[in-house]
Structure 1
Amino acid sequence: MTRAIRHDPGPHRASTGLAALLLAVVGGFQAALAAGAPWGQAAYGGGHRGVLPAKYRASSAVSTLVYAGLIAVVLGRRPGPGLRRRILTGASGLMMLGTVLNLASRSRVERLVWTPVAGTLAVTLLRVARGPRRVRSRPR
């Protein structure tokens, strides 16, 4: 007899949606910085008022691509379940580090806005990496 495995998508779906939304927000912020938005005080430790210097704008452009890739992985465009789990677990770890760095920042905006965003991303990315809870059906 074969047991069917059903997925309970409720909590997983919520984590997936929240992770994708927050990644889009952060990616959009990074894209705006790369394009020259005058929000330097809200990024990179808050050491640059106004438009970021070219090297930081280039870093933001690369970050935008990374966030777009993470959104694709979160939404299921995955290279394979094992690799997907490793990518999202690693991203969760980096977001945990980002949470600590934002909390320690001199920038008030980073402390008040980006700390909870990074912390929430750390948790939701880890939940998505773990996948939906599997519910075994009873044998017939």
Structure 2
Amino acid sequence: MTRSSGTRSLRRTAGVAALLLGVVSAFQAALAGGAPWGSAAYGGYHRGTLPARFRASSAASSLAYLALALVTVGGRPGTTAKRRILNGSAGLMGVGTVMNLASRSRVERLLWTPVAGALAFTLLRVARNLPDRA
């Protein structure tokens, strides 16, 4: 693989990760805003609108996912900090995949399990293929 095609592949993978992170961020923002999708989050224990403390958690999560999306596609590509953030996030997404798979919520199992798994894969791939120096 040439450096040019490797760079394009890395950008494409980072773009997919950022898109997925944007979708999750938007979902969390909608939950925070009162969308009646509680059965699709937090284990499915809250049908309809989430209680206030979970809405606050969703608001913070939305911002965190958005920040991670920006880290994924932005900044200097070869920094140690970026590599660590992406590796750690990939690990957390791996844990999230298992948690969604074990959820009693059918929506979490069918929708969020593959999303979390795809995020774990793409974030790890980006982290592992960053150039040594930008």
- In the TM superposition, residue 131 of structure 1 has moved relative to its aligned partner by 2.6
Name the counterpart of 1:64.
Answer: 62
- Once the two structures are superposed, the pairs formed by residues 1-140 of structure 1 within 5 Å of their partners are 6-7=3-4, 8-77=6-75, 81-132=79-130
**Cα 1:78–1:107 shift into 2, 3 Å:** farther
RMSD: 2.0
Q: Is contact 2:28-2:59 (8 Å) kept?
A: yes
Q: Is the contact made by 1:24 and 1:68 (CA closer than 8 Å) also made in structure 2?
A: yes
TM-score by length of 2: 0.90
- Counterpart Cα distance in 2 of 1:35 and 1:41: 15
Q: Percent identity?
A: 64
Higher helix share: 2
Alpha-carbon contact 2:11-2:73 (below 8 Å) kept: no
The 8 Å contact of residues 72 and 78 in structure 1, kept in 2 or not, is answered as: no
Give the gaps of 5 or more residues in structure 2: none
Letter in 2 for 1:107: S
Q: Rg bigger for which structure?
A: 1
Aligned pair count reads 130
Gaps of 5+ in 1: 135-140
Runs of 4+ in structure 1 deviating by more than 6 angstroms, as ranges, are none
Q: Which TM-score applies when normalising by structure 1?
A: 0.87
